[in-house]
Amino acid sequence: MHKLSFFKLPLILVIICWLMAIVTSITMMMINAPEYVNLGNYVINIAFNKLFYGLPKHLLIMFIASLAFYRCHIYQITVKNILSLITISLMMNVIVILFDNYILSFIMSYLYPYLNHLGYEAVLLIHSFIPSLLNYIVVGLVIYYGILNLQNRFDRAVDFKVIDADNRVKTHVILFALLFISLSLLFLTPILPFYSASYISGYLIVVIIIALIVYFSIRNCFTIETDTLETARIIKSTLLSFLFSAIANIVISLAMAFLIIMVAYGEHQSNQSDLIMIVFLGFGLQIVLTSLILRAVTKRYFARASNETSVK
């Protein structure tokens, strides 16, 4: 009997999808413009690009695959299961390429006339975000329904449970964090250009900060006693937490921008330390409010009292 694991197969699927995206990009470049390809440098650049720009999608794939594998009782790392993962990754790659080249191109060409009155920066941001969002949704749907439709091609462990008293808290925390961080990065990535190492370092710092906020905010909030995966509660609580946190952070950011403008261009002379203090206070307030929102929502859905009153 192979050892059962909840997150290893989803992680392997993420790695396969990442490698396949690299191979696809290299193949397309070699076909379209082979004379311009320095293969060594291009492989490094594309691997790096797919890793960072694809991080929201990779986290989503791991989240969706974990839910689908749980539903289908697929937990074993076997040759048959690895081959099935490769099949799903190939299928996803083909569908995403077709979607990007045909459906997405049509959608963006339809939207262009309505974006003409916006500024250049706004158009650039929308042009970056909408394809990312649509691609994100398509990937999630393909992974979930691909696993469900191909579940008979996997080795399954129908008579075994992987959620128990020892790992239920850790499993729910990880799933919540995967979806919350994925959504956060999906909305942040279009405004974080990767032109230099400093931007990449900043991106990594943002990822670490979000992960730490989520972990320390919710790690003690999952007191519900269950031996099953609370899929609906995870999705609802994560989406609500993200929505409320996004609204709070946007309001604080606008207030920070207003104060900075008032201080910088007001009647009284300002210095750099005043602006730095506003920025640090704003970021600190964002972290505190986000943490409070995460704790409040997760306790609402996953505390023992919530379980007794059946939160919907």
Q: Domain extents for the chain?
A: 1-162, 165-312
Asked whether 181 and 211 are in contact (CB, 8 A), the reply is: yes
Comparing CA positions, the residue from 57, 150, 63, 61 lying closest to residue 100 is: 57
Has residue 295 got a pLDDT over 90?
yes
Residue 40, token pair as written in the block: 């060594």
Q: Using one digit for the tens of pLDDT, what is the confidence trace for 229-283?
A: 889 999 999 999 999 999 999 999 999 888 888 877 765 556 677 778 888 899 9
Distance of CA 39 to the CA centre of its chain: 30
- Classify burial at 303, counting beta carbons within 10 Å of its beta carbon; exposed 0-12, middle 13-18, buried 19 or more: middle
Has residue 305 got a pLDDT over 70?
no
CA dihedral of 193, 194, 199, 204, whole degrees rounded to 10:
110
Can you give the pLDDT at residue 304?
A: 61
Asked whether 177 and 100 are in contact (CB, 8 A), the reply is: no
Q: Using one digit for the tens of pLDDT, what is the confidence trace for 7-22?
A: 999 999 999 999 998 8
Partners of 4 in the β-ladder: 76
Residue 52, token pair as written in the block: 């960072």
Indicate whether this model's pTM tops 0.75: yes
Q: Using one digit for the tens of pLDDT, what is the confidence trace for 183-212?
A: 999 888 766 655 455 567 777 888 899 999
Distance, CA of 119 to CA of 124 (rounded, Å): 9
Collapse the DSSP code of 155 into the 3-class scheme (helix H, G, I; strand E, B; otherwise coil) and give the result: coil
- Classify burial at 211, counting beta carbons within 10 Å of its beta carbon; exposed 0-12, middle 13-18, buried 19 or more: middle
DSSP state of 311: -
Q: What is the mean pLDDT of residues 53-74?
A: 93
State percent of the chain over pLDDT 90: 44
Asked whether 18 and 54 are in contact (CB, 8 A), the reply is: yes
